[in-house]
A and B are shown apart, each in its own frame.
Chain A
Amino acid sequence: MPIITYREALNQALREEMARDDRVFLMGEEVAAYNGAYKVSKGLLEEFGEMRVVDTPITELGFAGVGVGAAMVGLRPIIEFMTWNFALLAIDQIVNAAAKMLYMSGGQYPMPMVFRGPNGAALQLSAQHSQAFESWLAHIPGLKVVTPGTPYDAKGLLKAAIRDDNPVIVLEGEMLYNTKGEVPEGDYIVPIGKADLKREGDHCSIITSGKMVLVAMTAADQLAKEGIRVDVVDLRTVRPMDVEAITTSVRKTNRAVVLEEGWELAGIGAQVVDYIQRDCFDDLDAPVIRVHQADVPMPYAKAIEKAAKPDLAKTIAAVKKVMYIR
């Protein structure tokens, strides 16, 4: 199987889906002539022309709304945000319009559209450019939210998102774009709402998604050297969440660490822990531990930025703690 980057995997998904369905178009800042701020849309303008690969002014609220309107009358827009931090200016269109249209019209207006872009922190971009919004978006009924952590999942989930008749949020990662993995050529999809057991082990579960999958996998490798076998449950979709995959794993391992990029309060992990206490209360051998960003805006200086982020060392420490290993 070819090994390509996460960026190339997304590019393939866009290209294949645009070729497959001429109602699909890509719109956002710098997506066309510039080839994408992160080069995800490289070559698409040449191939599909300026009506289908559309550069916008810096007008997030406006072009998100353009996507909503186009979806209402039968097109299938892909709205790219340069990063999700900027999508806050468009939150009205995502939350009040896209997520509500089908319901408040009594089923008359589906919203077959995608909002996508990089989410979470990169390196030293400080407070306004380093935020993970999974829990904000997952909170909203009427949306689906996917968080691919590998090139394979990136291509398969983006293709599924484009074909879905609902508004789907695709949270990518700037730090993931250059990561590599096996990706089949041609058509396949990863179903939305299905988690993936990325590593099997019976001592402890790490439940995670998105950018943190890599951290969890590395942690699993290192722990294996010490004889600790972990299950890595990659949620892949955070709305709707694959509760069964979580509980199946925890019933097997009896211990869980929940790892996420965002903040603690009302985070994705809080919901995962709730599912666990509800369905696996008697299976637990230890309290569940969460690993997440420190409860602070992201700082700039290297050492304190590192201290703010969830990382490998914190994940390994958490696994050892739930296993009562000192």
Chain B
Amino acid sequence: MAAKKKTDGKQLPGDATLRRELLQSMLLQRRFEEKVGEAYALGKIGGFCHLYIGQEAVSTGVLSMLRPDDYVITTYRDHGQALARGMSPRSIMAELFGRVDGCSRGKGGSMHLFDRSLNFLGGHGIVGGHVPIAAGVGFAIKYRGGDQVIACFMGESVVNTGAFHEALNMAALWKLPCLFIIENNRYGMGTSVERAAAIKDLSRRADAYDGMHGEYVDGQDVFAVRESMERSLETARRESKPVLLEIRTYRYMGHSMSDAVSGTYRTKAELDEYLKRDPINLLKARMLEAGDFTEADYAVIDQEIKTVCQDAWDFADASPEPALEALYEDILVDTTS
């Protein structure tokens, strides 16, 4: 047994296969979004587009712990969670390109990725607005007597909205199986968390609701996220109680495509400091050290992922734009027949 443990990754959690899957999931998000940046610069993608680069250990850490019948809901910064949930890179890229094969048929764009077959309940564009919706999904789970949970991702700015309080209060009051996941990337557009929230430790917002557990987690370490999720799922799934996680992370790009990476509200020095804890590099280094793979193996994985992303681009590029008739489709369910 001891010998097996040694070859199978020094003290690293999970087995080599799982670790490789985690790495692949994170790397896919990174490479995919690098392509998105390129496509945006070429004018193939328009509108608001918010990259997730730097936060990949959060989506992968959380979503790798969920069951297929659980639910996921998130904000406009949704490419990472969509990929980590298993949505097809092709359908996401086609959506970003505004094409008919997009996951929302070209009606939603970057901020509104949906996939009903994966219980991916969308990216939502109103800060805080989706948090009560998550409570509603929790309510429905309880109503039907199931043991699913919903993972609700949100930026740290959300803790200052009324919707956040209203949702958490009901979730605690009614014991709903909701995981409220704050991705604290330190900024809401150009406003640092210190300038917006009259509380330092955001997970302590849970203290406002009797019986709600809150904790903070290192969001650059995918294993730490998974470990915290394991505990949280125990509470949400087994005890049907909400949990508040503050996952501390950092976004390496601007708020959206029109925002400079640094220089206005944050310094280059600060960014460089956080780049030292790039979640993908951290995982890769630990896997190299544990003997999960060699640099050459990693290069192969990386190349495979880049091929998948190029394929997504090619697919999106070839997909037609929605026909003009689509303009008037799906406003209402047709109830005339």
The interface bits of chain A over 60-100 (1 if a CB of B lies within 8 angstroms of the residue's CB, else 0) are 01111111111111110100000000000000110011000
Assess whether A281 is interfacial by the CB under 8 Å rule. Answer: no
Assess whether A104 is interfacial by the CB under 8 Å rule. Answer: yes
Cβ contact within 8 Å between B140 and A69: yes
Which residues from chain A contact B115 at a C-beta distance below 8 Å? 108
Which residues B5-51 have CB closer than 8 A to chain A?
Answer: none
Assess whether B206 is interfacial by the CB under 8 Å rule. Answer: no
Give Cα distance in the complex from A72 to B73, angstroms: 11
Q: How many A-B residue pairs have CB under 8 A?
A: 144
Cβ contact within 8 Å between A70 and B104: no
Cβ contact within 8 Å between B122 and A68: no
Assess whether B196 is interfacial by the CB under 8 Å rule. Answer: no
Cβ contact within 8 Å between A68 and B169: no
If the complex has contacts A144-B332, A166-B332, are A66 and B112 also in contact, measured as CB distance less than 8 A? no
Which residues A98-117 have CB closer than 8 A to chain B?
Answer: 101-110
If the complex has contacts A104-B108, A105-B114, are A166 and B135 also in contact, measured as CB distance less than 8 A? no
Cβ contact within 8 Å between B133 and A68: yes
Which residues from chain B contact A103 at a C-beta distance below 8 Å? 107, 330-331
Which residue of B105, B114, B125, B332 is within 8 Å of A109 (Cβ)?
Answer: B114
Assess whether B132 is interfacial by the CB under 8 Å rule. Answer: yes
Assess whether B129 is interfacial by the CB under 8 Å rule. Answer: yes
Give min CB distance, A289 to chain B, whole Å. 33
Give Cα distance in the complex from A105 to B330, angstroms: 9
If the complex has contacts A59-B169, A104-B104, A109-B122, are A72 and B330 also in contact, measured as CB distance less than 8 A? no
Give Cα distance in the complex from A102 to B103, angstroms: 13
**Stretch from B159-167, B215-223, B239-247 that touches the partner:** B159-167
Which residues B117-160 have CB closer than 8 A to chain A?
Answer: 121-122, 124-126, 129-143
Cβ contact within 8 Å between B134 and A69: yes
Give min CB distance, A93 to chain B, whole Å. 7
Which residues from chain B contact A67 at a C-beta distance below 8 Å? 136
Which residue of B106, B132, B335 is within 8 Å of A61 (Cβ)?
Answer: B132
Number of interface residues, chain B, beta carbon within 8 A: 46
Which residue of B103, B125, B132 is within 8 Å of A69 (Cβ)?
Answer: B132
If the complex has contacts A106-B330, A109-B116, are A69 and B122 also in contact, measured as CB distance less than 8 A? no
Cβ contact within 8 Å between B332 and A142: yes
Which residue of A68, A96, A104, A142 is within 8 Å of B136 (Cβ)?
Answer: A68
Cβ contact within 8 Å between A96 and B126: yes
Give min CB distance, B88 to chain A, whole Å. 14
Cβ contact within 8 Å between A59 and B166: yes
Give Cα distance in the complex from A64 to B166, angstroms: 11
Give Cα distance in the complex from A256 to B251, angstroms: 61
If the complex has contacts A72-B133, A108-B104, A109-B116, are A57 and B121 also in contact, measured as CB distance less than 8 A? no
Give Cα distance in the complex from A62 to B209, angstroms: 15
Give min CB distance, B128 to chain A, whole Å. 9
Cβ contact within 8 Å between B169 and A66: no
Considering the complex, give the chain B residue whose CB is closest to the CB of A73.
B140
The interface bits of chain B over 92-110 (1 if a CB of A lies within 8 angstroms of the residue's CB, else 0) are 0000000000111111100
Give min CB distance, A243 to chain B, whole Å. 16
Considering the complex, give the chain A residue whose CB is closest to the CB of B106.
A106
Give min CB distance, B165 to chain A, whole Å. 8
Give Cα distance in the complex from A31 to B19, angstroms: 51
Give Cα distance in the complex from A286 to B185, angstroms: 64
Assess whether A164 is interfacial by the CB under 8 Å rule. Answer: yes
Give min CB distance, A148 to chain B, whole Å. 18
Query: Which 8 interchain pairs have the tightest Cβ spacing?
Result: A69-B136, A65-B132, A62-B166, A106-B105, A66-B136, A105-B114, A106-B104, A69-B133
Q: Could you write out 6 A-B pairs with CB less than 8 Å apart?
A: A25-B143, A62-B135, A65-B132, A66-B139, A69-B73, A106-B105
User: Which A residues form the contact surface with B (CB < 8 A)?
Assistant: 25, 51, 56-57, 59, 61-75, 77, 92-93, 96-97, 101-110, 141-142, 144, 164-166, 192
Further pairs besides A62-B132, A69-B135: 11, Cβ < 8 Å: A62-B163, A63-B166, A64-B132, A65-B163, A68-B133, A69-B140, A70-B140, A77-B136, A106-B330, A108-B116, A142-B332
User: Which B residues form the contact surface with A (CB < 8 A)?
Assistant: 71, 73, 102-108, 112, 114-116, 121-122, 124-126, 129-143, 162-163, 166-167, 169-170, 173, 329-333, 335
